[in-house]
Structure formats: structure tokens, C-alpha cells
Amino acid sequence: MSNPFKQRLQRDETVVVVNPDHPSAALTEFLGRLGIDGVFIDCEHGTASIQTVQDMCRAARAAGLQSIVRPEANLDHLLTRYLDAGAGGLIIPHVDTAESAAGIVAAVRRARPLNHQDTVVIAMIESLEAVDNLDEIVAVEGIDVFFMGPNDLSHSMGLNGQTHHPDVRALVLSCAARIRAAGKVPGTLVTRDTVAAFISGGCRFLYEHANNFLITGASDFRQTMKESLK
């Protein structure tokens, strides 16, 4: 295996992956200057076309970033299509069973028979069904990260959209502990306010949005302006 991103995960180091939030190769390349490790290119949500995905993956390679694409669904032809477009990794939504997880591994190996070991494969745990089946899911070999998606988990828990609800956070941390106990790598969505807690809880794949950086930067700038006018 020659993928430094995967090697860092295997050494129990943290990696930071940012969603550009806008389908832009130029923004993807710019993110490479910020000291992050990868870009999350979202096709389940958003408006990125296959051509845009290809351009963003190319920009990520130029910037030395790991590209990870989330397809619209866990369908073999979509996984193959995004790998063919240059994705260095895939993050697959709604992996609720071990059978589903095993199917992902098989699809990636069919699509990349000679270098599948260098492809980052991430399974998203996004429902109470997946939580119930977690021990069987994490036993599937060939998946690099098991990612708890707090937004969909909140809906499954009846806490619609309350991503940062204490019960959602507690469930994510509980799942992270189970994943680490199995010798695997957990990941989740973080913010500036939650990142320390999730690192302490064992998460090593950390996902954030570029829009949050913009919001924070704009807020800090406005506050500095107000203080200067006092």
C-alpha cells in the first residue's frame, strides 16, 4: 500500500477532511494551502456533475489532498463511475448491515482489481439499524473508516436535524468506542466547538465544512470591526 492518507489512519493519527461546500476545482485546490488532509466531494447532496467531480479530484491531486467522493447511493455502478472519475476514496451513505458493507468492498475490488488497497473506503453509520448491527459491520475487512453521520442519526433517533443534541453526541461517542474496541477507525462530523471531544473519544477521521470556516472568519472580522469602532 502506498497511500499516505491510509497509512496515517493505520498509525492512529488524525486526518482532517473538508467539504468545499461549493462544486469548484479552484476552491478544492485552495484548500490544499490550509494544512488539511483531504476533500469531501458530496454527490448525495449538492449540485456537482460528474465532470465537476473529475475536475475537483484532479485539483485535489495537484494540491496533494486525498479526494473522497460520496455517491448518491450505494450502487455498484456509481462507485465505479466515481472511481473512474479519479476519486481516491469513497464514503458510502446508509450502510446498515454487514452484507451492505461487504458489498462495498467487493464493488471497489472489482472496479480496482490491481490497486484497491490504495483506495480509501468509508462506511457511513447513519441509522439505529446500523448502530444495532455495528459489531457485525465493523468485522467486515476492507473498510478503512466507519463514519457516524450525526444528521441522519438524529432523524433516526426522532431528534430531527439536531446534530449536536447531547443524545446524538453520546451515541456517536458510544459507537466510536465500539469501533476502536474492534481495532478499527471511527470518524464523524466535527466543528471548532466539538473537535476536542471527538478526538478524545477516539475519532480519527474528522470532517468539517468550508462554509463553517467562512462563517467563523466573517464573524471574527465583524467583531474586530466593532471593537475598533468603540
Residue 230 pLDDT greater than 90, yes or no? no
For 170-184, what is each residue's pLDDT tens digit?
A: 999 999 999 999 999
Mean pLDDT of the residues in the chain: 97
CA-only gyration radius of the chain, Å: 18
For 103-116, what is each residue's pLDDT tens digit?
A: 999 999 999 999 99
Say what the pLDDT of residue 1 is.
66
Please tell me the class of the 4-228 domain. alpha beta
* Distance spanning both ends of the chain, measured CA to CA: 58
Domain ranges (residues) in the chain: 4-228
45 is catalytic: yes
Say what the pLDDT of residue 200 is.
98
For 204-224, what is each residue's pLDDT tens digit?
A: 999 999 999 999 999 999 999
For 81-97, what is each residue's pLDDT tens digit?
A: 999 999 999 999 999 99
Q: Which of 22, 45, 77, 164 is catalytic?
A: 45
C-alpha cell at 74: 450505494
For 130-163, what is each residue's pLDDT tens digit?
A: 999 999 999 999 999 999 999 999 999 999 999 9
Average pLDDT estimate for 10-18: 97
Say what the pLDDT of residue 39 is.
98
